[in-house]
Amino acid sequence: MTIVTKLALVFTLWIGCCASAFALEPVYSDFFGKAIKGYDAVSYFTESAAVKGDSDFTYQWNGAKWYFSSEENRKAFVANPTKFAPQYGGYCAWAVSKGYTAKIDPHAWNIVEGKLYLNYSKSVQQTWQQDIKGNVAKADSNWPQLLAE
C-alpha cells in the first residue's frame, strides 16, 4: 500500500467517523464555499435555466458565496435573498424529505409555488417529482431538526 493510498484511507475513515461532529451548514456549498456550485440562483426564476455564475458578480450571504451571471441578477438577490435562494439551504430536497442531507446537481431543479428546489441528480429529481407536495411537507418538517443537529 502506497503512502498516498494510506493517507486516502485514513482521511476516508476520519470523515466517516467524525462527520457527525460537524454542525450542518445553513447553506450547502462546495469545497470553495460556492452556493449552488457557482450557479446563479436568480437565473432559475428569470431564465428558467441553470446558468453558471461569474466570479465578477458575487455576494456573501448566509455563510456561502453566491455567484451570478450578471450584475442585475446579483442586485435582485441582494435585495431579497430568501426569494431566490433554494429551499433547505440548497441541499437535495428529496434527501431532506427523508431526514438527511445530500449534495446537489444544479441541473436537477424545480420551481414550485415560487420556491426553488434542488436535487442530488436527475434520477433523484424524478423520484422527488412523483409526490412533490408530500415531499415538500416532509422536508419542511425535517429541515429545522436537521439544522439543529
Tell me how far apart the alpha carbons of residues 54 and 78 are, in angstroms, rounded to a whole number: 16
Within 8 A by CB and 6+ apart from 59, the residues are 65, 66, 68, 74, 77, 78
Q: Where are the domains of the chain?
A: 27-82, 86-149
pTM of the predicted model as reported, rounded to 2 decimal places = 0.84
Question: Could you report the per-residue pLDDT of 35-67, keeping only the tens digit for each?
Answer: 999 999 999 999 999 999 999 999 999 999 999
